[in-house]
Amino acid sequence: MAAEFAGKVALITGGATGIGRAAALQLAAQGALVVIADVALEAARQTAADCVSAGGKALPVACNVRDDGQVASAVAAAVDTYGQLDIAINAAGIGGREVRTADYDPADWDAVIDINLTGVWRSMRHEIPAMLRKQSGCIVNVASVAGLNGFPRHPAYAASKHGVIGLTKTAALEYGRKGLRINALCPGFTLTPMVQQMLDAGLPKDDLAARVPLGRLGTPEEVAASALYLCSSAAAFMIGHSLAVDGGIVAG
Ligand SMILES: NC(=O)c1ccc[n+]([C@@H]2O[C@H](COP(=O)([O-])OP(=O)(O)OC[C@H]3O[C@@H](n4cnc5c(N)ncnc54)[C@H](O)[C@@H]3O)[C@@H](O)[C@H]2O)c1
């Protein structure tokens, strides 16, 4: 894959930390020009600086995926700065509260759906036209194993991620013949700041690892590598796919 991404322009929502950050670093190390779009601007700046330290090129952009104008500006920044858009990894997301379905707070529900599902749609709404201009491009929407299986006490999260998979399949069918490949990635428990929050809240790491058939959490780098695979020519015949990278959770 070494020369695969040289000169490609990649936009990563949620690229400041965790899986998005690992994807940014891997893409930059392989010669891509990376736009890191995140609501956490300071962390996005740090990730961009780390990409540059590793010999790559990167641009941090403040972007809340709840705001259509900010998403439009992030895509425009990629095109204006680097000339085109070849790759988009839509990783921005939140976990939401751990509460059963009937007890879920409506405002919390709206926030999770708006960021995790509508945020992916808002992102594609602007990424797709940029890619159609050159009749090629790859989009990876970061869903979850909670987009394939139920996830007790996380109803909004599971609903949002199931939604991302349906949206991904639909967009893939709509734009496949126009040169776009759109797929979803379904990570299992991965040791990122999102999962670290669960551990900090008192969930023992061993309990989480015991829910993974491989017996351990994934790393952001392992998950990011699968996102890059979906964007590579090795995945040229894949569209509308939901790739589980989960240590075996959905096999069980
Ligand atoms: N870590 C896991 O175990 C796991 C498992 C399955 C799926 N995922 C998914 O992977 C993606 C990345 O999560 P992560 O684990 O790397 O967590 P993370 O918290 O490290 O990364 C999420 C990033 O999204 C950004 N973000 C949050 N809300 C945003 C908004 N409104 N606009 C723009 N950016 C926003 C955050 O600032 C952060 O940089 C998420 O979509 C998450 O649901 C994670």
Protein residue whose Cα sits closest to atom 7 of ligand 1: 144
Q: Which residues of 100-116 are buried (b: 16+ CB within 10 A; e: fewer)?
A: eeeebeeeebebbbebb
204 assigned to some structural domain: no
229 is annotated as an active-site residue: no
Cβ–Cβ < 8 Å for 231, 12: no
143 assigned to some structural domain: yes
Compute the distance between CA of residue 21 and CA of residue 86 in angstroms, rounded to an integer: 18
Count of structural domains, the chain: 1
Q: Helices then strands (H, E): number in the chain?
A: 9, 7
Compute the distance between CA of residue 173 and CA of residue 164 in angstroms, rounded to an integer: 14
Question: What's the alpha-carbon Rg for the chain, to the nearest Å?
Answer: 17
13 bridge partner residues? 37, 90
Q: What is the pLDDT of residues 24-60, one digit of tens each?
A: 999 999 999 999 999 999 999 999 999 999 889 999 9
Protein residue whose Cα sits closest to atom 37 of ligand 1: 40
Residue range of the domain that includes 85: 9-188+222-246
Protein residue whose Cα sits closest to atom 11 of ligand 1: 91
pLDDT tens for the chain, 252 residues: list them: 458 899 999 999 999 999 999 999 999 999 999 999 999 999 999 999 999 998 899 999 999 999 999 999 999 999 999 999 999 999 999 999 999 999 999 999 999 999 999 999 999 999 999 999 999 999 999 999 999 999 999 999 999 999 999 999 999 999 999 999 999 999 999 999 999 998 998 999 999 999 999 999 999 999 999 999 999 999 999 999 999 999 999 999
Ligand 1 centre to CA of 175 (Å) is 26
> Which residue bears the tokens 């006490």?
153
Cβ–Cβ < 8 Å for 245, 223: yes
Q: What is the pLDDT of residues 1-19, one digit of tens each?
A: 458 899 999 999 999 999 9
108 assigned to some structural domain: yes
3 assigned to some structural domain: no
Q: Which atom of ligand 1 is nearest to the CA of 193?
A: 20
CATH number, domain containing residue 46: 3.40.50.720
Residues framing ligand 1 (Cβ under 6 A): 13-14, 16-20, 38-40, 63-66, 91-94, 115, 142, 144, 187, 189-190, 192-195
- The tokens of 104 are what? 């879920």
Ligand 1 centre to CA of 177 (Å) is 30
> Which residue bears the tokens 């996380």?
154
205 assigned to some structural domain: no
Cβ–Cβ < 8 Å for 180, 131: yes
